Structure 1
Amino acid sequence: MTFDIVALCREQPGPEATISAMLAAGPELRVNTVEHADLVQLYHDDGRLLVTTEGARLVQVPGEARRLLGIDAEVPHPVWWVESRAPGHDPEAEAVARRFTRALLARTGGMSWSNR
């Protein structure tokens, strides 16, 4: 099972915020982009895929992020949804995904949700 974490950003995460968050996740990590799918992947030097992050999506419907995530917490509105996934069996991958999300939210404001 994958580790899933969602950044619910108050401000749209532009390229500067995203690159800064990737560097905070691990400056030694290799980056790959999948343009047609709007994905960014972070790899360990040994070739292991650590995190796949989807491009930001604007959630404009009030309460939709809360409904989709099944949470009771108040969510900013509107919100930019940035979802990241890491292999569930790799603790280093989860840590990288958490660092990326924390750094992104430090630049954009908002909150996060994860499946554990």
Structure 2
Amino acid sequence: QSRLQDGLSFLATVGSTSPFIGLFGTVWGIYNALTAIGMSGNASIDKVAGPVGEALIMTAFGLFVAVPAVLGYNWLVRRNKSVMEDIRSFSADVHSVLISGAMSTSNAAAGAKKAG
């Protein structure tokens, strides 16, 4: 089971932290925009556009990484559960066959003793 779960924790970590990295980039870009406004003394579009654009790119990058990671994680978890259920079902079937085969063998041996 652990072999089936390899990489799931990594995907979960990437999916949960990527939006925060994008948010950090957004905060950093807004900070740079406000610093540029403060240094120039006026809020012109050329002072704000660059840093805000960087902020939006970082937000988009965080979501671009997080969404596929979360979708992949959820798909792999579902697949893992399905495979584990198939294995449990198969092992139960094998167990039933072995038990019924052992009973048949012991019944045959008991019948042979009675006949002999």
Length-normalised TM-score, structure 1: 0.25
Higher helix share: 2
Higher strand share: 1
- Which structure is higher in RCO with an 8 Å CA cutoff and minimum separation 6? 1
Bigger CA radius of gyration? 2
